[in-house]
A and B are shown apart, each in its own frame.
Chain A
Amino acid sequence: MGMAAESQFHVLAVDDSIIDRKLIERLLKTSSYQVTTVDSGSKALEFLGLHEDDTTNPSTPCVSPNNHQEVEVNLVITDYCMPGMTGYDLLKKIKESSSLRDIPVVIMSSENVPSRISRCLEEGAEEFFLKPVRLSDLNKLRPHLMKTKSKDQHQKQEKQEEKSAFQSPKQQQQEKEEHQQQQQSSNNKRKAIEEGLSPERTRPRYNGITTVV
């Protein structure tokens, strides 16, 4: 009996609508993902291991990491319009968290609002799906998940290179390694916006429906 060597990706789905939760769960399971569904942004943060501070001081970070998240989450897919914490708020909190910022986030919305879409993408969302979400939309998730996996491998590689650089204390070599590391991290990081939007990024992905400006 052969066992699959590849471990399943775990997706956290967030939606206040019970119908949409059932739907997204089925879609994700059909695509062979492990799924957890929650009905709010605050429950999502709880599941991810973040707890909000009670302080309302804007200068302090509003979430404090609580050790490490108990269960590994490889992707968060969230509805935009939710009471209390919106999907956008959730996205922001995830991207502001040092422990969670590398988790890819996808936003879903029933409304095709171009400014909303660009705001989410600029904040670091990988994709923006128009509802109702279809199986074909979920095919777009895999590259983002694979990127996370290869990024982990890259980071391990970088750490090894760092080690060897320090062992041979040549200033030039060190600078070279650092420069390479910077290039690699900027390729991997989703905040490529600071370096200017790549052509792919500027085009919002929403199933090819024409934007009405």
Chain B
Amino acid sequence: MERNPMRRQLAIMRQSLFDQGYLDEQFIQLEELQDDANPNFVEEVVTLYYRDSARIILNLEQALERKPFDFNKLDGLMHQFKGSSSSIGAKKVKAECTLFREYCKSGNGEGCTRAFQQLKREYATLKRKLEAYFQLARQAGPAETACCRKE
């Protein structure tokens, strides 16, 4: 049980990310790889994810400007996005990627456009929540558990 009130708030925030379906089991796998020698591992991976996602989103936007749609290319880009989202446990974003790919496979351009807008919204929400989470984690100070930050 965390005595530090900020740590408790952090735990609640973390739990709600799982309860609301933003994150899945894979995020916990990342947390388990964090230790004293690698105290910021999860945040480092997530930061890489933001950067990589920004790149892919830009590429998708450019690809969606070219008519007619190159569904193969779109699917390829989304495959990448799905992969990285899956690797960090981004559950909702991953689901949106899957939906987009289904529209690609059936050659449904309108569906792709809609799905992409929805995907960007989900991604933005997740990013906002994770940024808030890690910011609080930094403010909350070292935990009583093994995930200790170096002072």
Contact = CB atoms under 8 A, between A and B. Distances in A.
Interface of A: 17-20, 22-23, 26-27, 30, 81, 110, 131-132, 134-135
Contact of B87 (A30, A81, A131, A135): A131
Contacts of B32: 135
A115 B38 CA distance: 38
25 contacts: A17-B52, A17-B80, A17-B83, A18-B48, A18-B52, A19-B48, A19-B49, A19-B84, A19-B88, A20-B84, A22-B45, A22-B48, A23-B30, A27-B33, A30-B33, A81-B79, A110-B79, A110-B86, A131-B83, A131-B86, A131-B87, A132-B86, A134-B29, A135-B32, A135-B33
B83 A20 contact: yes
Contact of A19 (B38, B52, B79): B52
Interface of B: 26, 29-30, 32-33, 38, 41, 44-45, 48-49, 52, 79-80, 82-84, 86-88
A135 B38 CA distance: 16
A118 to B, nearest CB: 21
Contacts, number: 45
A20 B52 contact: no
A117 B45 CA distance: 28
A163 to B, nearest CB: 48
A27 B33 CA distance: 7
Contacts of A22: 44-45, 48
A139 to B, nearest CB: 14
Most buried by A among B33, B86, B88: B33
A14 to B, nearest CB: 14
A23 B45 contact: yes
A26 B88 contact: no
A132 B87 contact: yes
A26 B84 contact: no
A26 B38 contact: yes
Contact of A110 (B41, B44, B82): B82
